[in-house]
Amino acid sequence: MAHRIWSGHCLPGRSKRQCTAAMSTHTPSTDRPTITLEAPLARFAASYSIDERVPSTVPGFDAPFFQAGLAGYSDAAMRLVARRHGCPYCVTEALLDRTLISGGKGRTREDPDILREECGLGEPSENRLHGLEDHPVAGQVMGTDPDEMGRGAAMLVELGHDVVDVNLACPVKKVRRRKRGGHFLVAPEEALVVLKSVRDAVPDHIPCTVKMRRAWDDTPEMALNFDRIFDGVYELGYAWATVHGRTVEQKYVGPSKWPFLASLTERFPDRIIFGSGDIFEVGDIFLMLQQTGVHAVSVARGCIGNPWIFRQARQLMSGETAAAPTIAEQRDALLDHFRLCTALHGEVGGSRMMRKFGIRFSVHHDDAETVRKAFIRVKSAADWQAVLDRWYITPQS
Ligand SMILES: Cc1cc2nc3c(=O)[nH]c(=O)nc-3n(C[C@H](O)[C@H](O)[C@H](O)COP(=O)(O)O)c2cc1C
């Protein structure tokens, strides 16, 4: 008997808006699980075409969604797995300008505490491009000093990134104290100097973009700050801003304010604007496009352990039924991700990193809780293989 799946994905803080976006049905056993959107949303998805300005700015960015920067997750391994499932464009996690300038690998990190524990930021080597497949990719730079930000941005171009994205959004307390990331939403003039320095340092043919929150907090003064920076972004020649509909103070708590995104696209119909926040399953992508008018949707927590969200989005855009992953597909993706991750981080680092991905992948399994617990116990490549052999075997394997 068919039953709804993923109702458990209605995370705390999610509004009913997202929880009802997709009527998902799962037919266990031999049938392929499918995801069905409510009819008007399905029609919207099937008739949607990406704004031509997006692929003409970044060739290859051919669908209205992408993988967001996710510190501690969105390394080259995760990006490649996403691309193999239909993701057209990825952003690296935020990289500190100083780490970039100092050469990354083998050099001292500026502040190991922030990098490792607080923000999960890595060295540039962790984001190194894994062959030609990992394009188009935006390198995201974060820092304080305009000159260093410019030099860090230029390094990203040297490393082969196709786009430079400036982080004015990170809400982590230590980052804010050091006047980086979301801090700039209280200091619009400083933000504009940084943005200019980056744009000037990056060759004209490389697009620059910005990631920002909708404000520092909900006061009228901070709303004006947002407007000042947002206007400056486009005046300085930035291609687009990705706006996360939460305030910096909100961090990740409470809903992302989609009506704010809708008001932006209404006020500025000529600007390319991307949206972020509360994208947990494929229906949310089209709901955000429909409700806000943004030109592309940033998929963040919704794609951790769920690269199929990209394939499903493409299926829905082709008017097909979107398919949830079979056990065999889950096994293939897990193996692929594991191989790439250990290639990047070594067996010990890769196995450790893959525990958290395994836990996220487990939600697709029929016996999710048992599989989740099995991934929690994984310490080595052998343990990893044992979980796959025990829980991801199909008659065809
Ligand atoms: C663990 C984690 C790490 C993140 N790291 C970054 C980052 O490095 N750069 C960035 O622009 N946004 C980062 N974000 C923010 C996400 O890209 C996204 O804007 C946010 O999670 C809201 O989207 P969601 O509610 O759909 O997850 C991070 C979010 C999380 C949860």
Span 174-198, pLDDT tens digits: 777 788 999 999 999 999 999 999 9
Q: Is the CB of 330 under 6 A from ligand 1?
A: no
Q: Is the CB of 245 under 6 A from ligand 1?
A: no
Tens of pLDDT, residue by residue over 349-375, are 888 889 999 999 999 999 999 999 999
Q: Is the CB of 300 under 6 A from ligand 1?
A: yes
Q: Would you place residue 312 in the very low, low, confident or very high pLDDT band (cuts 50, 70, 90)?
A: very high
pLDDT of amino acid 4: 28
Q: Is the CB of 278 under 6 A from ligand 1?
A: yes
pLDDT of amino acid 21: 47
Q: Is the CB of 92 under 6 A from ligand 1?
A: no
Nearest-atom number in ligand 1 for the CA of 169 is 11
Q: Would you place residue 108 in the very low, low, confident or very high pLDDT band (cuts 50, 70, 90)?
A: very low
pLDDT of amino acid 396: 65
Give the DSSP per-residue string, 73-133.
T-SHHHHHHHHHTT---EEEEEEEHHHHHTTSTTSPPS-HIIIIIIS----GGGG---STT
Residue bearing the CA closest to ligand 1, atom 24: 277
| 3-state secondary structure (DSSP) of residue 361 | helix
Pairing of strands 22-26, 34-37: antiparallel
Residue bearing the CA closest to ligand 1, atom 18: 300
Cβ burial of 397 (10 Å; 0-12, 13-18, 19+) is exposed
Residue bearing the CA closest to ligand 1, atom 10: 69
> If you ran DSSP here, which 8-state letter would residue 162 be given?
S
Most confident of 32-36, 128-132, 329-333: 329-333
Q: Would you place residue 32 in the very low, low, confident or very high pLDDT band (cuts 50, 70, 90)?
A: low
pLDDT of amino acid 295: 98
**Cα–Cα nearest to 297, from 268, 263, 270, 258:** 258
**129 pLDDT above the threshold of 60:** no
182 alpha carbon – ligand 1 mean position (Å):
12
29 alpha carbon – ligand 1 mean position (Å):
35
Residue bearing the CA closest to ligand 1, atom 23: 277
d(CA 245, CA 259): 9
**257 pLDDT above the threshold of 90:** yes
Q: Would you place residue 133 in the very low, low, confident or very high pLDDT band (cuts 50, 70, 90)?
A: confident
Task: Please report the beta strands in 224-308, taking only residues with DSSP state E, as ranges in sequence order.
Answer: 240-247, 273-276, 296-299
Rg (CA), the chain: 20
pTM of the entire structure? Answer: 0.89
Hey, what are 318's tokens? 């082709």
Residue bearing the CA closest to ligand 1, atom 6: 70
pLDDT of amino acid 347: 87
| 3-state secondary structure (DSSP) of residue 303 | helix
Q: Is the CB of 140 under 6 A from ligand 1?
A: yes
pLDDT of amino acid 52: 98
pLDDT of amino acid 342: 84
394 alpha carbon – ligand 1 mean position (Å):
34
**11 pLDDT above the threshold of 50:** no
Residue bearing the CA closest to ligand 1, atom 16: 300
Q: Which residues pair with 137 in a beta bridge?
A: 90
pLDDT of amino acid 104: 58
Tens of pLDDT, residue by residue over 235-251, are 999 999 999 999 999 99
Q: Is the CB of 94 under 6 A from ligand 1?
A: yes
300 alpha carbon – ligand 1 mean position (Å):
6
pLDDT of amino acid 259: 98
Hey, what are 285's tokens? 């992508």
Q: Are 151 and 144 in contact (CB under 8 A)?
A: no
Tens of pLDDT, residue by residue over 78-89, are 998 999 999 999
Hey, what are 129's tokens? 């491009």
280 alpha carbon – ligand 1 mean position (Å):
12
Chain mean position to CA 132:
20
pLDDT of amino acid 373: 96
Amino acid making up residue 363: V
Helix axes 308-317, 39-47, angle to 10 degrees: 80
Tens of pLDDT, residue by residue over 208-227, are 999 999 999 999 999 999 99
d(CA 67, CA 187): 28
**61 pLDDT above the threshold of 60:** yes
Residue bearing the CA closest to ligand 1, atom 2: 70
pLDDT of amino acid 341: 86
3 alpha carbon – ligand 1 mean position (Å):
31
Once rounded to an integer, what is the mean pLDDT over residues 265-280? 98
Hey, what are 373's tokens? 């617990």
The percent of residues above 90 in pLDDT, for the chain, comes to 69
Once rounded to an integer, what is the mean pLDDT over residues 284-312? 98
d(CA 214, CA 299): 17
Hey, what are 104's tokens? 């990354």
pLDDT of amino acid 348: 87
